[in-house]
Amino acid sequence: MSDRDNSTSASIDLGSNSFHMVVARYQNGELTIIDRIKEMVRLGDGIDSNNHLCPDVQARALACLERFGERLSGFPAKNVRAVGTNTLRNAENANDFLIEAETALGFPIDIISGVEEARLIYLGVAQNIAAEGQRRFIMDIGGGSTELIIGSSEAPEQMVSLEMGCVSVTRRFFEDGAITAKRLEQASRFAQSELAPHIENYLASGWQQIIGASGTIKAVNKVVNAEGWSNSGITIDSLRKLLTALGEARQINNIKCEGLDPERAPVFIGGVIVLLSTFEALGIKEMTVSDRALREGLILDLEGRFQGENTRRNSVDNLAKRYHAELSQSQRVSHTAINLMQQVADAWQLDNTEAAKWLNWASQLHEIGLGIAHRRYHHHGAYIIEHCDLAGFTQQEQQLLAVLVRSHLRKLPLTRFKALPKRTRKLAKKLSILLRLSVILHRNRSSAPTPKIRATAESKSITLNFPKEWLANHPLTSANLAQEEKYLTAIDYNATFL
């Protein structure tokens, strides 16, 4: 069987320290790894004083992605997920970089929030380690962030992403390479301050299993076992011995630990401090280590989407309930928008299934801003969507959903469309038009059925044909549609209502 068939998927993690790619096959409930590639890109080490990715690190990253792209040649786009994490979440020029990065890789790249990263890490680890009914505490130290997750079975319950990682802590406290007792103390205090707001809640939740994931924790495990400080796993005593040894090196360039990859040595001390600080803050005595994390979680999540398990749907449902969106009105708007979409899908080159999902989600959420205020409620709703944690959604997906909600009413926000990734701009405009028309048709919020409407379209136009005399008998709707014709010209679309 070829590793390019439909049962094989690939995930790419553009981390702050390393870029990872995993190719795997998911069959009969098991994930079989076919190939792994890792390159130490150190994206997080290439941020300048203006919070921009430096040209050198961009070139290094693009060269790596070209190599990854060669390995994935021939893969269907639906079988590949690539995500950026902490550094790309924070870099001011991340969007510009992503345009080149997607070209180099040959596939779309999304940025995920810290909480979404935590959810995917948990998914990857949980599938590989039997829970036996126990609650798990899972920790992952990346280059720029650290994720702490508590859950049972395959469901995370508590998740937090902290702004500290092996690259960021090393860079902040040991930038010139010198290791002193004062710097070690400052770095430890910083890590403890980041952990402090979460200690009480995490200790109150409790756990029976303690699992570490990621390159940093795996590297620590390898070192403490190779040095003879632990027989298996990572203990708090072995961590303290390791940090003492690192302090005695006096310089990062002098660090030489048994089992430590020389490529990881320059950022190793920051990760050790984060790990030891977490052990001490949460009273952890020993941790086992998982070989799987974010990359495997991405593939499992992708497989879940193929099979109809929809975390995103649950996130939208929960957000709509939180802001008391009127379900009956959402359903009316969704039904009409999807009906119109199905009629114009061929002319507008829309994927029926995907377009229906987005229209349904946008319909569910288009009025959540009313929970804040009626005035400018479409602005409020868009802000909520863009800035909340929606499990299952990437930042670009939340941005698209926010634009649909923002643009369902009054003038179309041209700058918001331009800010979207180029690959979703046309889709956003078309879905926005369909949502807007449906909202107009249901402005009276009546449960009475809408008339039978025939929709036709060309590449940049849409025509709605109503039953004879219907528009004349509904002057408010007719006036709103006349205004809509003017609004749509702003995005170069023509609308006709007969």
Whether pTM exceeds 0.85? yes
DSSP string for 268-333? HHHHHHHHHHHHHHHT--EEEE-S--HHHHHHHHHHHHHTT--HHHHHHHHHHHHTT--HHHHHHH
pLDDT of the residue at 127: 78
Q: How far apart are CA 180 and CA 151, in angstroms?
A: 38
Is 187 within the bounds of a domain?
yes
pLDDT of the residue at 437: 97
DSSP string for 248-277? HT-BGGG---TT--TTTHHHHHHHHHHHHH
CA angle, 223 then 224 then 226, to 5°: 60
Spatial CA neighbour of 494 closest among 462, 451, 467, 458: 462
pLDDT of the residue at 431: 97
Q: Along the 498 residues of the chain, how does pLDDT read in single tens digits? A: 344 456 799 999 999 999 999 999 987 778 899 999 999 999 988 888 899 999 999 999 999 999 999 999 999 999 999 999 999 999 999 999 999 999 999 999 999 999 999 999 999 998 777 666 689 999 999 999 999 999 987 778 999 999 999 999 999 999 999 999 999 999 999 999 999 999 999 999 999 999 999 899 999 999 999 999 998 899 999 999 999 999 999 999 999 999 999 999 999 999 999 999 999 999 999 999 998 889 999 998 888 776 656 789 999 999 999 999 999 999 999 999 999 999 999 999 999 999 999 999 999 999 999 999 999 999 999 999 999 989 899 999 999 999 999 999 999 999 999 999 988 999 999 999 999 999 999 999 988 888 999 999 999 999 999 999 999 999 999 999 999 999 999 999 999 999
Is 158 within the bounds of a domain?
yes
Relative to beta strand 8-14, strand 80-84 is parallel
In this structure, the answer to whether residues 133 and 269 fall within a common structural domain is: yes
The CATH number given to whatever domain includes residue 145 is: 3.30.420.150
In this structure, the answer to whether residues 452 and 373 fall within a common structural domain is: yes
The CATH number given to whatever domain includes residue 65 is: 3.30.420.40
Is 118 within the bounds of a domain?
no
* Domain carrying residue 193: 129-290
In this structure, the answer to whether residues 263 and 384 fall within a common structural domain is: no
pLDDT of the residue at 1: 36
* Residue 496, strand partner residues: 463
User: What type of residue is 51?
Assistant: N
At which of 259, 290, 321 does a domain end?
Answer: 290
In this structure, the answer to whether residues 175 and 224 fall within a common structural domain is: yes
Tokens of 158: 């508590």
Is 48 within the bounds of a domain?
yes
Is 124 within the bounds of a domain?
no
In this structure, the answer to whether residues 108 and 136 fall within a common structural domain is: no
Spatial CA neighbour of 432 closest among 467, 400, 461: 400
Is 177 within the bounds of a domain?
yes
* Residue 494, strand partner residues: 461
The CATH number given to whatever domain includes residue 487 is: 1.10.3210.10
Please tell me the number of Cα atoms within 13 Å of 140 on its side-chain side. Answer: 36
Is 75 within the bounds of a domain?
yes
In this structure, the answer to whether residues 235 and 328 fall within a common structural domain is: no
| Contact indicator for 452, 467 with CB cutoff of 8 Å | yes
pLDDT of the residue at 4: 45
Q: How far apart are CA 408 and CA 426, in angstroms?
A: 16
* Residue 138, strand partner residues: 149, 211
As for how many domains the chain has, the answer is: 3
Relative to beta strand 461-465, strand 110-111 is unpaired
Is 93 within the bounds of a domain?
yes
Spatial CA neighbour of 430 closest among 409, 407, 410: 407
Q: How far apart are CA 283 and CA 472, in angstroms?
A: 73
Spatial CA neighbour of 13 closest among 149, 102, 110: 110
In this structure, the answer to whether residues 73 and 152 fall within a common structural domain is: no
In this structure, the answer to whether residues 353 and 262 fall within a common structural domain is: no
User: What type of residue is 263?
Assistant: E
Using CA atoms in the order 446, 448, 453, 459, what is the torsion angle rounded to 10 degrees? 30
In this structure, the answer to whether residues 325 and 373 fall within a common structural domain is: yes
In this structure, the answer to whether residues 484 and 445 fall within a common structural domain is: yes
At which of 290, 318, 338 does a domain end?
Answer: 290
In this structure, the answer to whether residues 329 and 473 fall within a common structural domain is: yes
* Residue 70, strand partner residues: none
In this structure, the answer to whether residues 80 and 158 fall within a common structural domain is: no
